[in-house]
Amino acid sequence: MTVSRNNFSKARRIVVKIGSSLLTKGGRGLDQSAIEKWVEQMAELKLQGVDVVLVSSGSVAEGMARLSLKERPRTLHELQAAASVGQMGLIRTFENHFQKHNLHTAQVLLTHDDLSDRKRYLNARSTLITLLQFGVVPVINENDVVATDEIRFGDNDTLAALVVNLVEADLLIILTDQNGLYSCDPGLDHNAELISYINATDPRLEKMAGSSRSGLGRGGMFTKVRAARLAARSGAATVIASGKAEKVISEILSGSEIGTHLLPDMAPLAARKQWLAGQLQIKGQLTLDRGAVNVLKTSGKSLLAVGVKSVSGDFIRGELVSCHDESGNEIARGLVNYSAEEAKKIAGLPSADFEKALGYCDDAELIHRDNMVLV
């Protein structure tokens, strides 16, 4: 769906990211009253049928508070230790507050490797989508306890933007301790103006964005702008707003002009089609029978193995394959749920026979419609 200017009331799936400084009262420990208010707003959205995914910073900051550390640790093992201590309090706090609204939460810890590897990307996506179908609120954080520099996202703003792509969210809300993005640093220039609406790809954004001054998080306004651009590639809008504003999440979804709205150039479907069709390397080819070709063209359904006549190429689960009719015309492209070896064994078979052919059945579809585009 397209989320147009000031029309976020139509968003059906959102990602909310809350920064460390907000969550921990500037590093003094988790702000229970503020968290209660944010959770109440997210619970209201759930009642309205909106899927909510929460990306939460704060594990290191909360660990610092619990361990009475005055400064953010600098060595990797100290950061990981603080994160492991803080994560306990962070997830328990969210769980307790969401339970007051009869909502379950799930802790999901990710590293960059989880989203850069296609197989793990699909596994993470499947888990998150299933949690949302169960009505659960996933609480996502970078897996600071085990992550090294090579597999870090670098900041949870980036993680939140990648999660937007992962779950195909309509809107990313980044709550910070600032009112939004200003034309220049308001701490240095009293003439700075709040930017209400701007295109996420506007080249002026780099000059407007500054860096974090709290010393608690790893992000700043620059990382939020970068996150908005990543989200825009998936066709999602981003709002950067103050988490201290009254009912900030509810106000954004109701259409209030609060914070900075960074808008995408294209609708989600067009963005995802561009990504699948143009940015991933094709690893194999499936030849489909007439029935399967007709279903894909007219019904927009998933591709089932029963409609596949032949399989070529060397691919693994999660890689991109091209779908052709019997005359060699390309019909679609998509991310496969089975490897080439597995696909050859189940080609032409109904999903009920997968277990007999493979010894297991991971997915009923060879390519799910959400991971496929017609060409």
Residue 212 in this model has a pLDDT that exceeds 90: no
Q: What angle do CA 327, 312, 116 make, to 5 degrees?
A: 120
Q: What angle do CA 141, 235, 147 make, to 5 degrees?
A: 20
* % of the chain exceeding 70 in pLDDT: 87
| Interval 338-355: pLDDT, tens | 999 999 999 999 999 999
What mean pLDDT do residues 310-320 have?
91
How far, in Å, are 120, 172, 209, 308 from residue 336 at the CA level? Answer: 13, 27, 39, 13
Exposed, middle or buried: residue 3 (CB in 10 Å: 0-12, 13-18, 19+)?
buried
Per-residue pLDDT band for 273 (boundaries 50, 70, 90) equals: low
**Nearest to 61, CA basis, from 111, 108, 22:** 22
- Domains, the chain: 8-271 (3.40.1160.10), 280-374 (2.30.130.10)
Listed in order, strand segments (DSSP E) in the chain are 13-18, 51-56, 105-110, 137-142, 171-176, 197-199, 237-242, 260-263, 282-288, 308-313, 320-324, 330-335, 372-374
| Interval 23-72: pLDDT, tens | 887 767 789 999 999 999 999 999 999 999 999 988 888 888 889 988 88
Tell how far CA 289 is from the center of its chain.
Answer: 35
What mean pLDDT do residues 69-95 have?
88
| Interval 150-195: pLDDT, tens | 334 557 888 899 899 889 899 999 999 889 988 887 777 788 889 9
- The span from the CA of 71 to the CA of 80, in Å, is 15
